[in-house]
Amino acid sequence: MLTLYTAPGTCSRASHIALEESGLDFEIRLTDLANGDQRRPEFLAMNPKGRVPALTTDQGVLTESPAILAYIAALAPKAMLAPVEPFAFARMQAFNLYLASTVHVAHAHGRRPSRWSDDAAAQASMAAKVTQNMRDCFALIEDGLAQNGDSDWVMGGAYSVADPYLFTLSGWLESDGVDMAEFPRVLAHYERMSRRPAVVRALQAEGATSI
């Protein structure tokens, strides 16, 4: 059995949507980050990183969104959630790793600057850069989407696990001070994703009242 530890509105939403798309049997454990669930001993015994997402499997625990997303795609080949051709698969991984290592980290400087400095002025200074950094990241993503021709999806061909991942991080733009309308292709992708039944189911399970 697969169990996803997830928290509403966080990066773990991408893995949750991918599981909904996959047709696999799974359950979710909602983790209350504001309440410190992720720092409780029972959570840390499962995932010492103290973060979501974490996916428990019969073979052990998986962490890191790009790894979980690729695993879900590999486990459910019939759902066709990742390209099979090696170069296309590597390109999807490059996109997902950019979201994890650059876009997510840019966002986190606003929410959790204490990860990088104890100095209040340095924290404020880092937080002040979030809007511009997110805008720069999404300008790059928008340019990438522009090269997709008629495709509705991030990788330019079929839907893949890159789509719920982009959808999830696009959802952070407003709180980071960026109007998604600055990026028409990102906005159209977000709206398209919002209509997918798997996305609606995942958000309902999170208890989100609106998208």
Ligand X SMILES: N[C@@H](CCC(=O)N[C@@H](CS)C(=O)NCC(=O)O)C(=O)O
Residues forming the site for ligand X (CB under 6 A): 10-11, 33, 38, 50-53, 64-65, 100, 104, 112
Q: Which residue is nearest to ligand X (CB)?
A: 51
Minimum separation from the CB atom of position 100 to ligand X (A)? 4
Minimum separation from the CB atom of position 72 to ligand X (A)? 13
With tokens 């890191």, the residue in question is: 64
> Is there a contact between 30 and 8 (Cβ–Cβ < 8 Å)?
yes
> Is there a contact between 61 and 54 (Cβ–Cβ < 8 Å)?
yes
Nearest CB to ligand X, comparing residues 20 and 64: 64
Beta-bridge partners for 173: none
Nearest CB to ligand X, comparing residues 67 and 187: 67
Instruction: List helix spans (H) across 39-128.
Output: 41-46, 65-75, 86-98, 104-111, 120-128
Minimum separation from the CB atom of position 4 to ligand X (A)? 12
Find the distance separating the first CA and the last CA of the chain, reported in whole Å.
Answer: 28
Nearest CB to ligand X, comparing residues 11 and 70: 11
Nearest CB to ligand X, comparing residues 107 and 189: 107
Minimum separation from the CB atom of position 41 to ligand X (A)? 15
Nearest CB to ligand X, comparing residues 33 and 88: 33
Give strand ranges (E) for the chain: 2-6, 26-30, 54-57, 60-63
Q: Which of 146, 166, 164, 149 is nearest to 203 (CA)?
A: 164
Minimum separation from the CB atom of position 184 to ligand X (A)? 26
